[in-house]
Structure 1
């Protein structure tokens, strides 16, 4: 049997940072243990080996989700939260189709353009806010433009645009409400008899607002007289064929917007803070970029193999401060045995990404931001995620059949290309300076990366950085005016 913590009050002990409590318990209970949270039996996996053995090698047994997970927020029409049932098997190939690798190739110019514009926007933000600024919203605006161009051929010019503001407000609330500690009724079903709580009403209001917002986007595509190709149009075609219904179209669009914006923008927001705290890492990156790229052009996707230190920075960022600490839990529909441990059917199986990424046995000095640990990794995270667990660079995209919320490997490839363009161009253009108040030693107080905003995705608390242009050619190159 698994070592158990049977007291239902443990739900309240995990607090607002369950990843830390699960990791703490793993030190005394082992890399696989169970904890009873209300009426749910949670199996916590804090070992790369166990994740590989269960979620990857036995993926068929652990490919479903918890029944009722996010039922209020997603109207039972979620994709990432959907059980591995007939509906999931129906919509999965559709998602593969609209986000397939062909889509990545066809939209490479879109990514290039948007991440060039991102650097221009960062230049403008730096000029306006000389004392420093929190870059989250600029990153999120670019990620939103990428997804909205793919989904409905629409983009906005700034973070002041009403479309961006509405999206940021709605999605921020939506993902915050979806976190584990807000779903009490899933753990204590008796609470369903007393639904008129502030939290319950907030969830219903959030779902109503998201649905109304997405319906407006779908209507924009329907009303487009030019019938421009886009993802929503593909989903509407499946509706016309009788495969999807109205809510399917709305909440599949929701999945694409949420997954496509928060993952990349949160990763860039974390990495910017980590780089501000580690100027020696920036210095090495600047040297590599100057030697390989020079100062007459910005980095491009084909440069990736020639800038291994930049690639290592991205991988280390996904490990050290990635956008997911626990991800979306798996579940098993039948009993299983593993090394003498009994795993009952209908358990909630949690991949503790944070715990694995901070495992000293796997990563030497895990609390140190050290890209050098990944210099020998030449394969992409997309390729490594489907390989042997021992060879994986990180577990930020999850594991098993529900890898990267079940969307085709192109989802990871999109994210990797966006991060490559974002990080390489950020470091090509700027020196990132910590704009925190000065400490007693006269140096800026390091940005505290333990202070987080915890939802499905994890964000660092507000911080301030200054972005200093590295050379006079930056804006000329970004505007296409440089002479090689």
Structure 2
């Protein structure tokens, strides 16, 4: 790729051999002048190098996103996904036409992060904070697209576009820092001193472990990674389910048998809902929120199966390619939850085991495996199980010339740092008379 050597990993065994078994060599991130040194002032966690600073920050991030923290905060996540169902129910009954659920999913995930980080919640998708964050996130993710980094591959382009890009990056940095500085000041000025993650980080500033710029970019990583990936996954799964009423029918049968109509699914029900679990795993494989993982980087020469891997190479996990590999997944272009029906382990457990047993590679691999994997799995379970407990999801696309409903086109995607389906139209139809009573009773 111009002056950079890129190694694309599109085989599950290669991913295991390099990113897992040789994780010490392959866990860094490629240096990027504009987007790491300037945009985040080298303060980020997700895109930072695998060095002593990363190892110092990892336990801090696990305080919020690790398995223990998720168990501790499960009631909070539970309540937000109940509110999500209430919002979808009200939106469905207040409009005659259809809706696009992306913003409701995004709000639920964002609310979890704002409560954990700020001890505050957002009311609805009209909330000014949500609107500001949605615009800010869209602009940020648009800026860091690889098409804006062509001068990294072809340095001569800096003669033509360097100054313009430099100004854009500086302006985005100003917006990022201003946005999160306001949040930090909110916490500092809270007379009640409510417990939240930013307050814990401020204590680490007092202990001289961090500075306030560290907090800004750690929180930026948490807000971006904690909202877009889960909400993108739920937006995809909802579209897929609208196209597959037979899958919904099987899920409804399972939910009726195990849960009944008197309560919502809870976390303890997950082992008894194998088809719901399979829908989530297949959704992550079939249409996940990421096509190519965050790039890894190797700083020394390496040899693998007769191939020379030169130092300073960018190493890419091609999740899309692996998920469409016919040798690994029979008929990979079909949405078939049954392929995962007998897999009982979580994605977090499988990601750290034998590559042959992994369900999917949506959370990455090796030492840079997604820190929030436990939270994401719980959110996806509550999102999908409750969505299907409450509603029948109907495609509301226009009719074709033959008078039949046009399926949602799942090949059309908005591609950026995360992948979203193009805007589609669906209806949420309540499944039984108890839905309103359980949601609002």
TM-score where L is the length of structure 2: 0.97
2:263 corresponds to which of 276, 285, 297? 297
> What corresponds to 2:350 in structure 1?
384
> What corresponds to 2:215 in structure 1?
249
Q: Structure 1: how far apart are the matches of 2:435 and 2:108?
A: 19
Q: Structure 2: how far apart are the matches of 1:445 and 1:62?
A: 45
Q: Structure 2: how far apart are the matches of 1:364 and 1:413?
A: 28
Q: Structure 2: how far apart are the matches of 1:228 and 1:261?
A: 23
Please state if 1:52 is matched with 2:16. yes
The Cα shift of 1:449 comes to 1.3
> What corresponds to 1:448 in structure 2?
409
Q: Which moved more, 1:129-138 or 1:334-343?
A: 129-138
The Cα shift of 1:177 comes to 1.6
Q: Which moved more, 1:74-83 or 1:181-190?
A: 181-190
Q: Structure 2: how far apart are the matches of 1:190 and 1:78?
A: 28
The Cα shift of 1:361 comes to 0.7
Q: Within 5 A, what are the aligned runs for 1:132-211?
A: 132-194=98-160, 198-211=164-177
Deviations 1:253-288 (A, max 9, x none): 001111111111010001000000111100000000
> What corresponds to 1:317 in structure 2?
283
Q: Structure 1: how far apart are the matches of 2:75 and 2:345?
A: 23
Q: Structure 2: how far apart are the matches of 1:341 and 1:353?
A: 21
Report the CA distance shift for 1:199/1:275 in structure 2 as closer, same or farther (over 3 A).
Answer: farther
> What corresponds to 2:32 in structure 1?
68
SS of the counterpart of 1:218? helix
SS of the counterpart of 2:25? coil
Please state if 1:307 is matched with 2:268. no
The Cα shift of 1:200 comes to 4.2
Deviations 1:371-410 (A, max 9, x none): 0000011000010011111000000000011111xx2xxx
Q: Structure 2: how far apart are the matches of 1:214 and 1:133?
A: 31
Q: Is the 8 A contact 2:65 2:374 kept in 1?
A: no
SS of the counterpart of 2:283? helix
> What corresponds to 2:204 in structure 1?
238
1:266 corresponds to which of 232, 241, 252? 232
Unmatched runs of 5 consecutive residues or more in structure 2: none
Question: How many residues align structurally?
Answer: 439
SS of the counterpart of 1:440? coil
TM-score where L is the length of structure 1: 0.88
Report the CA distance shift for 1:450/1:200 in structure 2 as closer, same or farther (over 3 A).
Answer: farther
Unmatched runs of 5 consecutive residues or more in structure 1: 1-36
The Cα shift of 1:196 comes to 5.4
The Cα shift of 1:193 comes to 4.7
> What corresponds to 1:10 in structure 2?
none
1:80 corresponds to which of 39, 42, 46? 46
Please state if 1:473 is matched with 2:439. no
Q: Which moved more, 1:193-202 or 1:370-379?
A: 193-202
> What corresponds to 1:431 in structure 2?
392
The Cα shift of 1:194 comes to 4.9
> What corresponds to 1:27 in structure 2?
none
SS of the counterpart of 2:331? coil
Q: Is the 8 A contact 2:395 2:405 kept in 1?
A: yes
Q: Structure 1: how far apart are the matches of 2:155 and 2:59?
A: 33
Deviations 1:20-75 (A, max 9, x none): xxxxxxxxxxxxxxxxx121100001010110111111111101010126224323
SS of the counterpart of 1:447? coil
Q: Structure 2: how far apart are the matches of 1:365 and 1:315?
A: 16
Deviations 1:296-345 (A, max 9, x none): 11100100011100000000000001111102100111111110000001
Q: Is the 8 A contact 1:322 1:396 kept in 2?
A: yes
Q: Is the 8 A contact 1:447 1:463 kept in 2?
A: yes
> What corresponds to 2:245 in structure 1?
279
Q: Is the 8 A contact 2:298 2:311 kept in 1?
A: yes
Please state if 1:39 is matched with 2:7. no
The Cα shift of 1:182 comes to 1.7
Q: Is the 8 A contact 1:68 1:76 kept in 2?
A: no
